[in-house]
Each structure stands twice: as structure tokens, then as C-alpha cells.
Amino acid sequence: MQNDFLSAKKQLPFLGVGLGLRTELAESIFAETTAIDFLEIIPEQYMGKGGESRERLEKACSLYQAVSHGVNLSLGSTDELDWSYLRTLKQFVNDIRAPWFSDHVCFASLGQVYLHELLPVPFNRTTIEHMTRRIKQVKAYMELPFIIENTTYYMNVPGSAMSEAQFLSELLEQADCGLLLDINNVYVNCINHGLDPYGFLDQLPLERTVQIHMAGHKQSGDIVLDTHGSSIADPVYDLLRYALGKPGVKVHAISIERDQNQPAFTELKEELAAIKSIYKNATSAALSVKKAGA
Ligand SMILES: [Fe+2]
């Protein structure tokens, strides 16, 4: 059945506003349990590791609800799915008691070599069919709600025959999975490719959004780069407000990704508070609309 995911989504918990667990931030994260609602953990940084990594993971999961955000599934690759990776990932999501797990709309390996990059795929129906088949295999094996994230692309990949928004929409519907909507990636791609980010959001099946990513970017000459290395820009907050205010959108979690130029933790706390306020306003506005129409 095509809409199983939307039924399953109704059972998912609401986690609030959280942060990606990064080694440099760990001490502050462990001390600031009132400012952070949940953690997003990159499984590749912890799977199969002992020592300090294991201790950090255990401490994180003792203090917070965690979700898993992978980078090596390589859904768009022509390589076979890596079943030993999936076996380890299944154990990991079980260990951290994640209510869902995510990875990216990209390829990250070629010829079984991991490239440590999230590389864009051609936006066309062949890719949709290919990725749909793989997402269905992953879902069946993992037995946990699966959400996929929109990524950045800085050139049009040869072979593309449709827009990114059309590609993502068809992929989400055909694979019947959830969306991890990276709002900063929407902004970066739309500015770089001359598109309207609001119109882009209008084209997506946003009712499938389980989680949102917020992050900073950097202008570099004519290009905007998705750096995760600066504070979140105002237009990205505006887009968040817009996405959350759209009818039928019920987002279960929002997290900040900060990977470089780590600021004083107070800056991240201010960003968490700003997002919480937008989230709270959008949720109460949605509730009042529901009441008025009830
Ligand atoms: Fe992201």
C-alpha cells in the first residue's frame, strides 16, 4: 500500500528541538540538558567502536532521546547495497532506541570505495526507479521508519530531466518514505540555481516531513556554500516559519547541524531557543486553526 508511511508517521514521537552530537560539543551538550531536547547521532562515528567513543555514545543516550543520521548508505550508487553496513546499522539504531533513521538522497560510494562526500544524482525517472527499489529493500530490512534528506548540488548533473523538487516528490511518493527536510540546503540550492525557495517548498509533499535540519552557509563569490560553519541566516529562519505554517505539516523534530567553526555554546543555545519559539508558534497556530474549523 502506497501510504503506509503516513500512517506510521502518526505513531512517531515529537522530539522537539535538538542538536547533532559532535565530539567538540559533547561536554557542553552533556551539561545543557534543559536547552536541548534530543540528539542526532551519525552512526558511522560510533558503529563498532569502543573506548571513549562508546562512552560518549552511552552517556549521550542516557541523557537524551537519540535519532540516527547516516552518511554511508549510498542510496543513489550503482554499487550493491552494503548488507554488512546495514546489519551493523540495524544493531546501532536498536542500541540507541532510535524512533526513526535517516540518510541522504545522494551517492557516497563507487566501486565499493567510500568517497566521504554526499554526491548528487541525476534527477530523472531511471534514478527514481533505482533509488525506490533500494529504499524499499532498506525499509524491509531495517523495520524502522526511514526518512531521506535533500542534499546540495552545485552543478546540474548530466542526464537530469526534471527539477530537484519534482524528483524528490516522485521519489518520496514512490518509495513511500519520510522526508528529512534540510531547509538550509533548500535555500543554498535555490539561490545557486536561480529558483524561488518558497515555490520549491510548495512543490514538495511536506506532509511527509518527520524532521528538519537547520544550518549555516557561506557566500563565496557567486556561490552559496553549505558549510555548517556559521550561524543560521535569517532567510533560512523565514523558510522554516513558512514550511511549518503550511497545512498538513506536522514536524516531529528539528535539529541544528554545526560541523565547523564551533561558536561559544551560548550561540547555539540562542539558535535552539529561536527555533523553539518558531516551532511553538507554528504548532499553536495550527492548533488554533484546527479548533476554529472543528
Ligand atoms: Fe542536513
What does the alpha-carbon distance between residue 17 and residue 179 come to, in Å, rounded to a whole number? Answer: 17
C-alpha 149 to ligand 1 mean position (Å):
7
C-alpha 214 to ligand 1 mean position (Å):
7
Residue spans of the domains in the chain: they are 4-293
If pLDDT is split at 50, 70 and 90, which confidence band does 117 have?
confident
Count other Cβ atoms within 10 Å, centred on residue 26: 16
pLDDT of residue 57: 98
Cα torsion 251, 140, 101, 245 to 10°: value is -10
Is domain 4-293 classified as CATH 3.40.50.1370? Answer: no
C-alpha 175 to ligand 1 mean position (Å):
20
pLDDT of residue 2: 53
pLDDT digits (tens, 9 = 90+) for 55-107: 999 999 999 999 999 999 999 999 999 999 999 999 999 999 999 999 999 98
C-alpha 294 to ligand 1 mean position (Å):
36
C-alpha 182 to ligand 1 mean position (Å):
5
If pLDDT is split at 50, 70 and 90, which confidence band does 1 have?
very low
Would the pLDDT of 40 be above 80? Answer: yes
Mean pLDDT of the chain: 94
pLDDT of residue 284: 76
pTM higher than 0.85, yes or no?
yes
pLDDT of residue 294: 46
**199 versus 229: which is more confidently predicted?**
199
C-alpha 209 to ligand 1 mean position (Å):
13
What does the alpha-carbon distance between residue 208 and residue 10 come to, in Å, rounded to a whole number? Answer: 10
C-alpha 291 to ligand 1 mean position (Å):
34
pLDDT digits (tens, 9 = 90+) for 118-151: 989 999 999 999 999 999 999 999 999 999 999 9
C-alpha 148 to ligand 1 mean position (Å):
10
What does the alpha-carbon distance between residue 221 and residue 137 come to, in Å, rounded to a whole number? Answer: 42
Tell me if 151 sits within 8 A of 185, measured CB to CB: yes
pLDDT digits (tens, 9 = 90+) for 54-67: 999 999 999 999 99
What does the alpha-carbon distance between residue 208 and residue 210 come to, in Å, rounded to a whole number? Answer: 6
pLDDT digits (tens, 9 = 90+) for 143-185: 999 999 999 999 999 999 999 999 999 999 999 999 999 999 9
C-alpha 158 to ligand 1 mean position (Å):
24
Q: Which residues are close to ligand 1, an ion, with C-beta < 5 A?
A: 182, 213
C-alpha 228 to ligand 1 mean position (Å):
9
**Quick one: average pLDDT of 209-219?**
96
C-alpha 68 to ligand 1 mean position (Å):
12
Spatial neighbors of 286 by CB under 8 A, at least 6 apart, are 245, 250
C-alpha 199 to ligand 1 mean position (Å):
20
pLDDT digits (tens, 9 = 90+) for 235-290: 999 999 999 999 999 999 999 999 988 999 999 999 999 999 999 998 776 656 55
C-alpha 256 to ligand 1 mean position (Å):
8
Which grid coordinates belong to 171? 521519489
C-alpha 251 to ligand 1 mean position (Å):
15
If pLDDT is split at 50, 70 and 90, which confidence band does 293 have?
very low
C-alpha 215 to ligand 1 mean position (Å):
7
| Percent of all residues in the chain with a pLDDT value above 90, rounded to a whole number | 87
